[in-house]
Amino acid sequence: MDKILTQFASPLGLALTLSLVGLLLLPGRRRLAGSGLLLLALTGLGLSSLPVVADTLLRSLEERYPELSVAELPTAEAIIVLGGGVDPVAIDRPYPDLQSGADRVWHAARIFHAGKAPLVILSGGIIPRLGTEVSEAEAMRMFLADLGVPAEAIRLEERSRNTHENAVFTAELLQKSGLARGLLVTSALHMPRAMAAFQEAGVEVVPAATDFRLREEPPHLLRWLPEVRSLAISTAVLHEYLGLWMYRHRGWA
C-alpha cells in the first residue's frame, strides 16, 4: 500500500491525477476549476523536470551527510549495507543486475578492504513484485564476492522489505552477534531516513554515504530546460520526504 501511495504522490502521479479531475470538470459549470487544475498539473510537472529545481531539492537531502573518503571514516565492528542497489536474480536469468544505487555495494567493499571493519552485513529481503526467489542481500553477496570480499566476512539479513525493517532486523542480528557499532552504507539521498530508522531501532551507526547524484554545474541555459533525469530526481526526493513523514508519524524515526 505504501508503494502505491508514493506513486500517486510523485510529480507524475499528481499531475495525472489533477489532469484527470480537471478534464472531468471542464464540461460542467466548474470549467474554471478544471482549467486551474490542468494548469497546476502542467506547472508542477514542468517545474519538477527542471535541473535547477531538481538539484535544489536533491541538495536539501544529500548535503545533510557529506561525502567522506574511506580514510576519513572511523573504524567500526561492522559495515551495514542497505538493499536497493542490486536487482536480485530473476527466475530466467543467471545473474543479478546493478542499479544506479549499486555504489552502495562497491563502497562497502572499498571500506572493507581498507580495514575499517571486519564484517559486512547485507540487509534486504525478497521482493515479490520482481518475481525473484533470491533476496537483495544474496544478490549483494554475489557482487561483494566478485569484489573480493571473503564469504566468512559476510552476514545476510534477508527478512526486511523496507528501511524500517532493515533497521529492526539488523538490530536483532547485531545484538545476537554481540556487536554495537556499524558504518551505515546507503545512497546519500536515502541516508537521512536510514539514519533516523536505525537510531530509533537503537543501533549506533556512523553514516558512510555514497551514490551522490548532485552535480554542481555553472549556470547555463540547459539548467532551465526540462529533462527526464531531473523529473526522476524530483520524484526520488519527494519519495524520501514522504517516507520521512510517514516514518515519524508511525514512530519509526
> How is the chain split into domains, by residue range?
2-63+230-250, 70-207
We find that the CATH architecture of domain 70-207 is 3-Layer(aba) Sandwich (3.40)
Query: C-alpha distances in angstroms, 233 versus 19, 27, 227?
Result: 22, 35, 10
Res. 232 pLDDT band, cuts 50 70 90: very high
At 139, phi and psi to the nearest 5?
-65, -40
* pLDDT computed for residue 181 by the predictor: 93
Query: Cell digits for 72?
Result: 576519513
Closest CA to 236 of 2, 1, 6, 5: 6
Provide CB contacts within 8 A for 177, sequence distance 6+: 155
Report helix angle 136-146 to 103-113, nearest 10: 50
Q: How far apart are CA 200 and CA 196, in angstroms?
A: 6
Segment 129-181, tens digit of pLDDT: 766 778 999 999 999 999 999 999 999 999 999 999 999 999 999 999 999 89
Segment 51-83, tens digit of pLDDT: 999 999 999 999 999 999 999 999 999 999 999
Res. 96 pLDDT band, cuts 50 70 90: confident
Res. 215 pLDDT band, cuts 50 70 90: confident
Cell match 529545481: residue?
53
pLDDT average, residue stretch 83-89: 85
The number of residues in the chain equals 253
* pLDDT computed for residue 241 by the predictor: 96
